[in-house]
Chains A and B, each alone.
Chain A
């Protein structure tokens, strides 16, 4: 048996679904990748832009302050602090008043003594030389130093937290060039003000770190939970950008320097929206994917069904034909190939059917002919015997018997021929049998008696000719012994069937023998009981199932053969 490929339906389904799945998956992945890079690029670009704006705000502020400080420094260097002391203090005062961020301006000499500036609170500030801003300024003479947080103003009556901007400067005192330290106190709140204008999203915050990485400022309100996480990362980055997850939130950290200070400024922006967008897109893509797979599975199933259903219809129609039903034509729907196929199949079945009918008809005709010939074969044998007995009667000069025998023989033959008719009235058939019995009785020397009882209703009905005589012939041969016997012929009408029985009172026959006779009749085994088989075959051939022969016997008493013949002559035969 050759290896079977999977069914068309399954193949079409699998291929369609497979191709669709692969393409869908590929396009989903590609669109995911493209979308994710576009979205993340735009979100990050936005975060960068915000960072840039913030840093520029701070830078522009810082540059402003440096410019102010430069002006002050220049003025300090140009004016003689002794001769122009009042002018210098006035300049400091104006700067303090016009610039709200500037709380106070002071000039100290190398020893930390106040040279210019008003309103200092000596109690709050006993030792300028020891302060960080003073030391830094003297150490790094060429730059402005920004202090860390946590200092309070040294001006009288001011308690604000300040950022100290200090620088080593040169000034002239009494015509002598000296160096000292210029201190500009800035309100710490400016950083808070600048930071407040930022929008970095939920949990987003701004950090300012010293050049050592120490946290100077965080815009995060409250206990600075996020800052505790972000500040070490920012300090470790020095500069650049990084995506991190802080306490489960996606953040984008951007660190850069804050010109012109020694500080680092870091913005920590919330880009969780990116993750959310990705999740949404992922969910959407999966939904689209599943839906598409579902739809294409359905379409594939329907499509494969449209191919396979007509084929399956064709197959079941063929199975019908296989089991012998040629009458149901295949009605196929679907693709034209299938319709063409079913049309061809129908044509083929019709042809086969026609051929079969022809063959069957031919076979039956042939069989009828054979039986006809068989029937005709009997007659010469009987004729020979009868002529023999006529000769015997004539030799004994039993003229009356010769005459009766010859007359009976003539009638017998006339009915036998019956102008070629196959069906004759029951009266004629009975007459045929009684002629036969008359001849035989003369021949057998009256060793048997017979009786014929036929319903009047039967007499005009037609019956297939020459069905009783072989049975009677059998009854005489097997039923009449040396001591003589009786032959009883009866005919009756029961409903639609005629029953004719031929009974003899011989020894009877066994059940086994009866079964053998049935088998012989049906042509299944043996070639005994030729006469009865001939009758049986002819009845079946013309009347079909409705006709039958039954045999019954009571040992040492009688044997009866009964014919059942439909009342109606078969149409085909009439």
Chain B
């Protein structure tokens, strides 16, 4: 009596598995390194937003494209409906796209933008992200606004009154796509509006708080009284620089009201990008002048919506978000400064 029952239950299980695989709601989420708090938080957000829509299987490549490739290859055996890939090495994306095209599994890349050629290898390849140029432009706009929006007549923040802004640039990684794009775009915007900028120094600080702290020490020794602006490619380096500057006597609370005073020689505008919680807090405390928020909540939601539309059952279609060139979904940055 037991045998037929067991057979029956096995049969049901097989049937269920079959039906599950034919209408898979499995989504692979591949992140480049969970040690990166931003990415880890972003992955959490995607998992939260996906609840009830599809089951997300998360993989951490630990900073190795080799491992990520293996992870993608092994997940394909389980026939996922879609994969979301935060590539370790954006140059290797072509192999991922070709592999997924062969398996007919659509892919959404995020956080690191693959080459356009690679994205265009297949019409079911998508990229959700922000535009590095936009963050640079917003960063430049914040600065220009602070200096009075008039290149002909800079306001009091041109401390030496020479009509030129003496600036230090903290770059992320040398050769990094975003570092180059942000830096170039900031400089381009200043030039476009006619603001004169004297770049005292460009320093590579590898996106790192500690690296920026160290490098800022030497810069202060060299340029201490001439610095009128610090432009950073991200918040972490901006915060590291501020820490070193505070140790060097900057950001004094002149009237001792518990709040940093802008209207003194000791306050120098520092701008960052990303909108980290620490950076927001620093802006509120009056140290960091402003940041450009990387709107990760909106981005996560956009990715989930896109994924939902891409793998939707034809019987129950979901609206596909507006895509640029059929591949790109751009999420806007948001400038953040303290309310005066």
Contacts and interface: CB of A to CB of B under 8 A. Distances in A.
Asked if A and B are interacting partners, one says: yes
B115 A140 contact: yes
Given A56-B66, A59-B66, A142-B180, A259 B174 contact: no
Interface stretch (B37-45, B67-75, B210-218, B288-296): B67-75
A257 B95 contact: yes
Interface in A7-55: 48, 52, 55
A81 to B, nearest CB: 17
Contacts of B72: 239-240
B92 A259 contact: yes
A66 interface: yes
Contact of B95 (A52, A69, A140, A256): A256
B204 A74 contact: yes
Interface stretch (B6-14, B96-104, B231-239, B268-276): B96-104
A93 interface: no
A189 to B, nearest CB: 24
Interface of B: 64-66, 69-70, 72-73, 76, 88-89, 91-92, 94-96, 98-99, 102, 115, 174-175, 177, 180-181, 202, 204
A66 B64 CA distance: 16
A262 interface: yes
Given A239-B99, A257-B95, A260-B89, 7 more contacts: A73-B175, A140-B115, A142-B177, A142-B181, A239-B73, A256-B69, A257-B91
Contacts of A480: none
B95 A241 contact: no
A262 B91 contact: yes
Ranked nearest first, the 9 interchain pairs of A and B with the lowest CB-CB distance are: A257-B92, A240-B73, A238-B98, A259-B89, A238-B99, A70-B174, A256-B69, A239-B95, A259-B65
Interface in A221-262: 237-241, 255-262
Interface centre among A239, A260, A261, A262 (most CB of B within 10 A): A239
A143 interface: yes
Contact of A52 (B66, B73, B96, B181): B66
A143 B92 contact: no
B95 A259 contact: no
B196 to A, nearest CB: 14
A56 B63 CA distance: 12
Given A70-B174, A259-B65, A239 B96 contact: yes
Interface of A: 48, 52, 55-56, 59, 66, 69-71, 73-74, 78, 140, 142-144, 167, 211, 237-241, 255-262, 264
Contacts of A66: 175
Contacts of A238: 95-96, 98-99, 102
A257 B65 contact: yes
A327 to B, nearest CB: 60
A71 B173 CA distance: 11
A69 B174 CA distance: 10
A295 to B, nearest CB: 33
A241 B73 contact: yes
Contacts of B98: 238-239
Contact of A240 (B69, B89, B92, B94): B69
A142 B175 CA distance: 8
A78 B203 CA distance: 10
A507 B96 CA distance: 138
A240 B89 CA distance: 16
Contacts of A59: 66
Interface centre among A55, A66, A140, A260 (most CB of B within 10 A): A260
A142 B177 CA distance: 6
Contact of B91 (A71, A255, A256, A261): A261
Given A140-B115, A238-B99, A239-B73, A259 B180 contact: no
A476 B159 CA distance: 188
Contacts of A241: 70, 73
Contact of A256 (B66, B76, B115, B202): B66
Contacts of B70: 48, 240-241, 256
25 contacts: A52-B66, A66-B175, A69-B175, A70-B174, A142-B180, A142-B181, A143-B91, A144-B175, A211-B95, A238-B98, A238-B99, A239-B72, A240-B70, A240-B72, A240-B73, A241-B70, A256-B65, A256-B70, A256-B95, A257-B66, A257-B89, A259-B65, A259-B91, A260-B89, A264-B95
A257 B115 contact: no
B66 A143 contact: no
Contacts of B102: 238
B287 to A, nearest CB: 29
Contacts of B204: 74
B86 to A, nearest CB: 14
Given A142-B177, A211-B94, A256-B65, A237 B89 contact: no
